Structure 1
């Protein structure tokens, strides 16, 4: 799992630990190396997920179950 390491200077463009940093952020494929570098320099570690699995449908896209009202409930029970 890859992790991002963020340095305090947002404008930093350079290399640390064999990884190129752009605008203060570098992506480490080797999580252990990234964490060690961040710990030794006091940098922030940002967890990054690999390709996301199939996205769950948004709440808006899910069909809401039909709600019955009391009036409709009584009619249904009377019909039986």
Structure 2
């Protein structure tokens, strides 16, 4: 397997959707290819971060300030 071949099936590999034979080929390639191993590890970590990340709640004070500024800008544009 070549690096470009791995990149074509990276998503399926990370999602665990490859058949055993192809998965074994990928894992064999990863044993000897540091750049591909970094790509796979980084992809897995990125997915985990987004999967585990809860939505960020903006503090009430910040929301109110943002809304006030938006209303002011809206008024400026409407009157100008």
Query: Which interval holds the TM-score relative to the shorter structure?
Result: under 0.3
Structure (1 or 2) with the larger CA radius of gyration: 1
Higher normalized strand content (fraction of residues)? 1
Higher helix share: 2
TM, length-normalised to structure 1: 0.26
Q: TM-score, normalised by structure 2?
A: 0.26
